[in-house]
Structure 1
Amino acid sequence: MRSKMARNTLVTVTALTALSAGGLVTAGTAGADQQRQQTVAVTESVAPLAVVNLGLSTQQAKNVQCFLKNGGWGYSGAIDGQLGTNSWKAMQNRLSSGYGYPSNQIDGIVGPNTVKALQRLLADKWGYTGAIDGIAGPATQAAFKRYANGQAPYC
Protein backbone atom coordinates (compact mmCIF):
# COMPACT_ATOMS: atom_id res chain seq x y z
CA MET A 1 0.00 0.00 0.00
CA ARG A 2 2.83 2.27 0.82
CA SER A 3 4.36 1.76 -2.62
CA LYS A 4 0.99 2.41 -4.29
CA MET A 5 0.64 5.63 -2.28
CA ALA A 6 4.21 6.64 -3.17
CA ARG A 7 3.54 5.86 -6.82
CA ASN A 8 0.32 7.96 -6.79
CA THR A 9 2.15 10.80 -5.11
CA LEU A 10 4.91 10.57 -7.69
CA VAL A 11 2.36 10.59 -10.52
CA THR A 12 0.56 13.55 -8.98
CA VAL A 13 3.79 15.49 -8.48
CA THR A 14 4.89 14.64 -12.03
CA ALA A 15 1.51 15.73 -13.42
CA LEU A 16 1.57 18.97 -11.44
CA THR A 17 5.14 19.64 -12.54
CA ALA A 18 4.16 19.06 -16.17
CA LEU A 19 1.14 21.33 -15.84
CA SER A 20 3.23 24.00 -14.19
CA ALA A 21 5.85 23.73 -16.88
CA GLY A 22 3.15 23.92 -19.52
CA GLY A 23 1.74 26.96 -17.78
CA LEU A 24 5.18 28.52 -17.70
CA VAL A 25 5.65 27.79 -21.38
CA THR A 26 2.30 29.38 -22.09
CA ALA A 27 3.16 32.30 -19.84
CA GLY A 28 6.47 32.69 -21.68
CA THR A 29 4.66 32.68 -25.00
CA ALA A 30 2.06 35.11 -23.70
CA GLY A 31 4.86 37.33 -22.42
CA ALA A 32 6.55 37.22 -25.80
CA ASP A 33 3.23 38.05 -27.50
CA GLN A 34 2.71 40.96 -25.14
CA GLN A 35 6.24 42.21 -25.78
CA ARG A 36 5.71 41.88 -29.55
CA GLN A 37 2.44 43.84 -29.27
CA GLN A 38 4.19 46.56 -27.29
CA THR A 39 6.93 46.73 -29.91
CA VAL A 40 4.35 47.00 -32.67
CA ALA A 41 2.46 49.66 -30.75
CA VAL A 42 5.62 51.70 -30.29
CA THR A 43 6.57 51.30 -33.93
CA GLU A 44 3.11 52.32 -35.10
CA SER A 45 2.99 55.38 -32.85
CA VAL A 46 6.14 56.90 -34.37
CA ALA A 47 5.03 59.49 -36.90
CA PRO A 48 6.99 60.24 -40.04
CA LEU A 49 8.74 63.57 -40.27
CA ALA A 50 6.40 66.38 -41.27
CA VAL A 51 6.54 67.42 -44.91
CA VAL A 52 5.55 71.04 -45.51
CA ASN A 53 5.82 72.03 -49.17
CA LEU A 54 3.69 75.19 -48.78
CA GLY A 55 1.94 74.60 -52.08
CA LEU A 56 5.03 73.67 -54.10
CA SER A 57 4.93 70.84 -56.61
CA THR A 58 7.40 68.01 -56.17
CA GLN A 59 9.65 69.50 -58.86
CA GLN A 60 9.55 72.95 -57.28
CA ALA A 61 10.43 71.46 -53.90
CA LYS A 62 13.33 69.59 -55.56
CA ASN A 63 14.55 72.94 -56.94
CA VAL A 64 14.56 74.36 -53.41
CA GLN A 65 16.42 71.31 -52.08
CA CYS A 66 19.01 71.60 -54.87
CA PHE A 67 19.55 75.26 -53.96
CA LEU A 68 19.88 74.45 -50.27
CA LYS A 69 22.33 71.63 -51.00
CA ASN A 70 24.40 73.19 -53.77
CA GLY A 71 24.20 76.74 -52.43
CA GLY A 72 25.97 75.81 -49.21
CA TRP A 73 23.06 76.13 -46.78
CA GLY A 74 23.68 72.84 -45.01
CA TYR A 75 21.20 70.51 -46.67
CA SER A 76 22.63 67.03 -47.13
CA GLY A 77 19.48 64.98 -47.60
CA ALA A 78 17.88 63.46 -50.67
CA ILE A 79 16.57 65.59 -53.50
CA ASP A 80 13.12 64.02 -53.26
CA GLY A 81 10.73 66.95 -53.47
CA GLN A 82 9.58 66.50 -49.87
CA LEU A 83 10.42 69.52 -47.74
CA GLY A 84 10.81 67.83 -44.38
CA THR A 85 12.61 68.77 -41.21
CA ASN A 86 16.12 68.70 -42.69
CA SER A 87 15.09 70.77 -45.71
CA TRP A 88 13.52 73.35 -43.43
CA LYS A 89 16.55 73.43 -41.13
CA ALA A 90 18.66 74.35 -44.14
CA MET A 91 16.05 76.92 -45.23
CA GLN A 92 16.03 78.40 -41.73
CA ASN A 93 19.82 78.58 -41.94
CA ARG A 94 19.37 80.53 -45.20
CA LEU A 95 16.70 82.75 -43.64
CA SER A 96 18.95 83.52 -40.65
CA SER A 97 21.27 85.25 -43.08
CA GLY A 98 19.59 88.62 -43.54
CA TYR A 99 15.90 87.77 -43.25
CA GLY A 100 15.37 87.86 -39.51
CA TYR A 101 15.22 84.20 -38.61
CA PRO A 102 17.00 83.67 -35.24
CA SER A 103 20.00 81.40 -35.84
CA ASN A 104 19.63 79.93 -32.35
CA GLN A 105 16.13 78.66 -33.20
CA ILE A 106 16.90 76.47 -36.22
CA ASP A 107 14.67 73.45 -35.62
CA GLY A 108 13.15 72.51 -38.98
CA ILE A 109 9.62 73.34 -37.84
CA VAL A 110 7.66 75.62 -40.15
CA GLY A 111 6.12 78.00 -37.64
CA PRO A 112 5.24 81.70 -37.78
CA ASN A 113 8.88 82.84 -37.39
CA THR A 114 9.94 80.69 -40.34
CA VAL A 115 7.10 81.99 -42.47
CA LYS A 116 7.80 85.63 -41.51
CA ALA A 117 11.45 85.27 -42.48
CA LEU A 118 10.42 83.50 -45.70
CA GLN A 119 8.01 86.36 -46.43
CA ARG A 120 10.87 88.85 -45.97
CA LEU A 121 13.00 86.89 -48.46
CA LEU A 122 10.09 86.66 -50.90
CA ALA A 123 9.37 90.41 -50.54
CA ASP A 124 13.03 91.19 -51.21
CA LYS A 125 13.28 89.58 -54.66
CA TRP A 126 10.31 87.38 -55.50
CA GLY A 127 7.33 89.74 -55.77
CA TYR A 128 5.68 89.18 -52.42
CA THR A 129 3.75 92.31 -51.42
CA GLY A 130 1.61 90.98 -48.58
CA ALA A 131 1.96 91.45 -44.86
CA ILE A 132 4.87 89.94 -42.95
CA ASP A 133 2.43 88.12 -40.69
CA GLY A 134 3.71 84.54 -40.45
CA ILE A 135 0.71 83.14 -42.30
CA ALA A 136 1.53 81.17 -45.45
CA GLY A 137 -1.54 82.26 -47.38
CA PRO A 138 -2.08 82.31 -51.17
CA ALA A 139 0.18 85.33 -51.81
CA THR A 140 3.03 83.78 -49.81
CA GLN A 141 2.60 80.46 -51.60
CA ALA A 142 2.53 82.13 -55.04
CA ALA A 143 5.77 83.99 -54.29
CA PHE A 144 7.33 80.81 -52.87
CA LYS A 145 6.51 79.07 -56.16
CA ARG A 146 8.30 81.86 -58.09
CA TYR A 147 11.25 81.49 -55.72
CA ALA A 148 11.30 77.70 -56.21
CA ASN A 149 11.14 78.05 -60.01
CA GLY A 150 14.06 80.48 -59.79
CA GLN A 151 16.18 77.82 -58.07
CA ALA A 152 15.99 75.38 -61.02
CA PRO A 153 19.53 76.21 -62.22
CA TYR A 154 20.92 74.65 -59.01
CA CYS A 155 19.61 71.21 -60.01
Structure 2
Amino acid sequence: MQVMTGGCQCGRVRYAARIDSNAAYLCHCRMCRRATGGVSIAFRNIAKADVTWTTVEPDRYRSSPIALRGFCRDCGTPLTFEFPDGDMMDLTIGSFDDPSAFVPDHNFSVETILPAWLDCSHLPGTTLADNPSTRDRWLAACGKLPD
Protein backbone atom coordinates (compact mmCIF):
# COMPACT_ATOMS: atom_id res chain seq x y z
CA MET A 1 0.00 0.00 0.00
CA GLN A 2 1.36 3.42 -0.94
CA VAL A 3 0.05 6.93 -0.40
CA MET A 4 -0.42 9.01 -3.51
CA THR A 5 -1.40 12.66 -3.57
CA GLY A 6 -3.42 14.78 -5.91
CA GLY A 7 -5.80 17.66 -6.24
CA CYS A 8 -7.36 20.24 -8.46
CA GLN A 9 -5.66 22.56 -10.91
CA CYS A 10 -5.66 25.61 -8.62
CA GLY A 11 -4.59 23.68 -5.50
CA ARG A 12 -7.62 24.51 -3.35
CA VAL A 13 -8.69 20.85 -3.06
CA ARG A 14 -5.91 18.38 -2.21
CA TYR A 15 -6.02 14.72 -1.17
CA ALA A 16 -3.90 11.79 -0.10
CA ALA A 17 -5.07 8.31 -1.14
CA ARG A 18 -3.90 4.89 0.02
CA ILE A 19 -3.43 2.89 -3.19
CA ASP A 20 -2.87 -0.88 -3.28
CA SER A 21 -2.33 -1.36 -7.04
CA ASN A 22 -1.87 0.57 -10.26
CA ALA A 23 -5.24 -0.57 -11.68
CA ALA A 24 -7.50 2.07 -13.21
CA TYR A 25 -10.28 2.14 -15.80
CA LEU A 26 -11.88 4.24 -18.49
CA CYS A 27 -15.56 5.16 -18.29
CA HIS A 28 -17.25 5.86 -21.62
CA CYS A 29 -20.80 6.63 -20.39
CA ARG A 30 -22.60 9.70 -21.66
CA MET A 31 -22.90 11.10 -18.12
CA CYS A 32 -19.10 11.11 -17.71
CA ARG A 33 -18.60 12.56 -21.17
CA ARG A 34 -20.93 15.43 -20.40
CA ALA A 35 -19.57 15.96 -16.88
CA THR A 36 -15.98 16.24 -18.13
CA GLY A 37 -16.33 17.43 -21.70
CA GLY A 38 -14.12 14.52 -22.76
CA VAL A 39 -14.69 11.43 -24.86
CA SER A 40 -14.11 9.26 -21.77
CA ILE A 41 -12.64 9.68 -18.31
CA ALA A 42 -9.97 7.72 -16.47
CA PHE A 43 -10.80 6.72 -12.89
CA ARG A 44 -9.24 4.89 -9.96
CA ASN A 45 -11.84 3.12 -7.83
CA ILE A 46 -10.98 3.38 -4.14
CA ALA A 47 -12.58 2.99 -0.73
CA LYS A 48 -13.81 6.32 0.59
CA ALA A 49 -12.04 5.47 3.86
CA ASP A 50 -8.71 5.40 1.97
CA VAL A 51 -9.00 9.04 0.86
CA THR A 52 -8.08 11.96 3.12
CA TRP A 53 -8.91 15.48 1.98
CA THR A 54 -5.85 17.40 3.13
CA THR A 55 -7.10 20.94 2.46
CA VAL A 56 -10.85 21.14 1.88
CA GLU A 57 -13.28 18.55 0.56
CA PRO A 58 -14.46 19.02 -3.00
CA ASP A 59 -17.81 20.59 -3.64
CA ARG A 60 -20.30 18.04 -4.94
CA TYR A 61 -23.31 18.09 -7.19
CA ARG A 62 -25.92 15.46 -7.97
CA SER A 63 -25.09 14.53 -11.55
CA SER A 64 -27.87 11.95 -11.81
CA PRO A 65 -30.57 10.42 -9.59
CA ILE A 66 -27.98 7.91 -8.29
CA ALA A 67 -24.62 9.70 -8.16
CA LEU A 68 -22.60 12.69 -6.94
CA ARG A 69 -19.57 14.24 -8.58
CA GLY A 70 -16.90 16.11 -6.67
CA PHE A 71 -15.16 19.13 -8.19
CA CYS A 72 -13.32 22.30 -7.23
CA ARG A 73 -15.68 25.24 -7.19
CA ASP A 74 -12.84 27.65 -7.97
CA CYS A 75 -11.17 26.04 -10.98
CA GLY A 76 -13.77 23.44 -12.05
CA THR A 77 -11.49 20.39 -11.95
CA PRO A 78 -13.54 17.14 -11.89
CA LEU A 79 -12.27 15.05 -8.96
CA THR A 80 -14.70 12.30 -7.99
CA PHE A 81 -17.64 10.12 -8.92
CA GLU A 82 -19.48 8.46 -6.06
CA PHE A 83 -22.72 6.83 -5.00
CA PRO A 84 -23.91 8.61 -1.82
CA ASP A 85 -24.87 5.29 -0.21
CA GLY A 86 -21.66 3.44 -1.16
CA ASP A 87 -18.31 2.80 0.53
CA MET A 88 -16.33 3.25 -2.70
CA MET A 89 -15.63 6.23 -4.92
CA ASP A 90 -13.70 7.04 -8.08
CA LEU A 91 -10.89 9.58 -8.21
CA THR A 92 -10.01 11.08 -11.57
CA ILE A 93 -6.62 9.82 -12.76
CA GLY A 94 -5.71 13.24 -14.14
CA SER A 95 -6.05 14.80 -10.67
CA PHE A 96 -3.24 12.64 -9.22
CA ASP A 97 0.15 14.36 -8.95
CA ASP A 98 1.69 11.36 -10.76
CA PRO A 99 -0.98 9.86 -13.02
CA SER A 100 1.69 7.86 -14.87
CA ALA A 101 1.62 5.34 -12.02
CA PHE A 102 -1.74 4.00 -13.22
CA VAL A 103 -2.53 1.52 -15.98
CA PRO A 104 -6.04 0.97 -17.35
CA ASP A 105 -7.26 -2.59 -16.87
CA HIS A 106 -10.80 -2.31 -18.23
CA ASN A 107 -13.40 -0.16 -19.96
CA PHE A 108 -16.80 0.61 -18.46
CA SER A 109 -20.01 1.40 -20.36
CA VAL A 110 -18.64 -0.14 -23.52
CA GLU A 111 -22.00 0.21 -25.26
CA THR A 112 -21.30 3.94 -25.67
CA ILE A 113 -17.59 3.87 -26.58
CA LEU A 114 -16.62 6.28 -29.35
CA PRO A 115 -14.42 3.85 -31.33
CA ALA A 116 -12.48 6.48 -33.26
CA TRP A 117 -11.08 7.81 -29.97
CA LEU A 118 -9.91 4.51 -28.48
CA ASP A 119 -6.47 4.44 -30.08
CA CYS A 120 -5.05 7.68 -31.38
CA SER A 121 -1.41 6.55 -31.21
CA HIS A 122 -1.18 6.43 -35.00
CA LEU A 123 -1.97 10.14 -35.36
CA PRO A 124 0.80 12.71 -35.80
CA GLY A 125 1.73 14.63 -32.67
CA THR A 126 3.18 17.99 -31.72
CA THR A 127 4.92 18.91 -28.49
CA LEU A 128 3.92 22.03 -26.62
CA ALA A 129 7.40 23.44 -27.26
CA ASP A 130 6.90 23.01 -31.01
CA ASN A 131 3.60 24.94 -31.07
CA PRO A 132 4.55 28.64 -31.26
CA SER A 133 1.07 29.93 -30.46
CA THR A 134 0.89 28.11 -27.12
CA ARG A 135 4.61 28.08 -26.31
CA ASP A 136 5.02 31.84 -26.77
CA ARG A 137 2.02 32.60 -24.55
CA TRP A 138 3.45 30.44 -21.74
CA LEU A 139 6.89 32.01 -22.05
CA ALA A 140 5.46 35.55 -22.04
CA ALA A 141 3.24 34.84 -19.04
CA CYS A 142 5.56 32.73 -16.87
CA GLY A 143 8.99 32.67 -18.46
CA LYS A 144 8.80 28.89 -18.79
CA LEU A 145 6.65 26.06 -20.08
CA PRO A 146 4.33 24.25 -17.64
CA ASP A 147 5.38 20.97 -16.05
TM-score for both structures, normalised by structure 2: 0.25
Looking at secondary structure, tell me which structure has more helix per residue. 1
TM-score (norm 1): 0.24
Larger radius of gyration, structure 1 or 2? 1
Which structure's relative contact order is higher, taking Cα pairs within 8 Å and 6+ residues apart? Answer: 2
| Bigger strand share | 2
